[in-house]
Amino acid sequence: MRLKLSSFVLAVLVALATAGVAAAGNGGFAPVPPASPNAQHINGLYWLIFGFTAAIFVLVEGLLVAFVVKYRSRGRGRAVEGAQVHGHTRLELIWTAVPVLILVVIAGAVFYELPNIRNAPAAVDPIQITVEGHQFYWQFDYPNGSRSIETMHVPVGENVDLRVVAPDVIHSWWIPALGGKIQAIPGRTNHTWFRADKTGSFEGQCAELCGVFHASMAASVVSESHSEYETYITQTAPATIGQQIWSGVCATCHGNLGQGGYGPAIANNTLLIQPSALQAIVHNGFTGSQGAMPPVGDTWTQAEFNSLEAYLKQHIYKPAPAGATSGG
Ligand code: CUA
């Protein structure tokens, strides 16, 4: 019996361990591969806690199965008493003390790692980028005054200091490969940092329910060489801001071609080519019987409106075919 039991427990352990290896990596229960020192430290804590929980899971489930097998009725009559067991003081002391020890180890490890996660390495001069969470897009302001929407560009291997703010409701900035979450809260400025250790694109998502289009509030960080980053913030970002606003902000609700989605179809709407009227509605938002539009553009500059206007005129606005509208 004892041999059967221990070989069963061993089989369960092996099965779990192999399942763990098979499921590791993306799509499994492992976090995304860290690409920043703070994410690396979070990853270490994840595996420490995972180790404890996996061991406890195996122990508890193994004992459960063992007890089911060992104390089954074996055809005994319902009125007959089963085997009688009595309390075990030492066992009870052990299962009280061991969880306390485990919690102490986890708490100790967390407080030991916390400074490495929260605080950027000091000596380096960080690049400061302001992250603004909006219903329903992310906006990034670079040190040279340029701006991008949805996609942040950073130089590889350099410390990036993020000032995280929100003009409307609470959002949560989170690029898992580049560290933990940080909330974007109206009326205050939060700070976090990362240092992308390799080039590539790292994906993330607003992690705080912020309204109907929370789910589409994706963000990505592109890590590239310093010269590519410089080219991006001095040339590419300013030149493409109109297109970025369209695809990152307007198209989310109104469709990629303005054909309509959650928001109404706007491709034929002459408002698109009336700069001051459009600017008023985008800046202030509105609430009407047909629905509401958030003030998506309340922090945009005149140059950005002009760039959006030019883009709309050139690529989105399609005059309604003659005779297609009725008295409208
Ligand atoms: Cu912003 Cu969810």
The CA 136 to ligand 1 mean position distance, Å, reads 6
Task: Find out whether 20 and 50 touch, Cβ atoms under 8 Å.
Answer: no
3-state class (DSSP) for residue 287: strand
Task: Find out whether 205 and 136 touch, Cβ atoms under 8 Å.
Answer: no
Report the C-alpha gap between 5 and 9 in whole angstroms: 6
Dihedral angle of Cα 76, 81, 83, 85, to the nearest 10 degrees: 160
Kindly report the protein residue whose alpha carbon is nearest to atom 1 of ligand 1: 171
Burial class (CB in 10 A: 0-12, 13-18, 19+), 151: middle
The CA 213 to ligand 1 mean position distance, Å, reads 7
Task: Identify the residues whose C-beta falls under 6 Å from ligand 1.
Answer: 133, 171, 206, 208-210, 214, 217
Dihedral angle of Cα 193, 204, 47, 17, to the nearest 10 degrees: -160
pLDDT 10s digits, 158-189: 999 999 999 999 999 999 999 989 999 999 99
pLDDT of residue 273: 83
Does the pTM of the predicted model rise above 0.85? Answer: no
Report the C-alpha gap between 313 and 54 in whole angstroms: 58
Provide the 8-state DSSP code for 113.
H
Closest ligand 1 atom to the C-alpha of 206?
2
Residues near 247 by beta carbon (within 8 Å), at least 6 away in sequence: 149, 150, 256
Task: Find out whether 202 and 220 touch, Cβ atoms under 8 Å.
Answer: yes
Report the DSSP beta bridge partners of residue 218: 205
Count of other CB atoms within 10 angstroms of residue 116:
15
Q: What is the mean predicted confidence (pLDDT) over 108-136?
A: 88
76-90, 198-212, 271-285 — which one is most confidently predicted on average?
A: 198-212
Instruction: Give me the sheet containing 151-155, strands edge to edge.
Output: 151-155, 218-224, 200-205
pLDDT of residue 326: 45
What is the torsional sign of CA 69, 71, 76, 78? negative
pLDDT 10s digits, 231-262: 999 998 888 888 888 888 888 888 878 888 87
Closest ligand 1 atom to the C-alpha of 170?
1
* pLDDT at 327 exceeding the cut of 50: no
The CA 208 to ligand 1 mean position distance, Å, reads 5
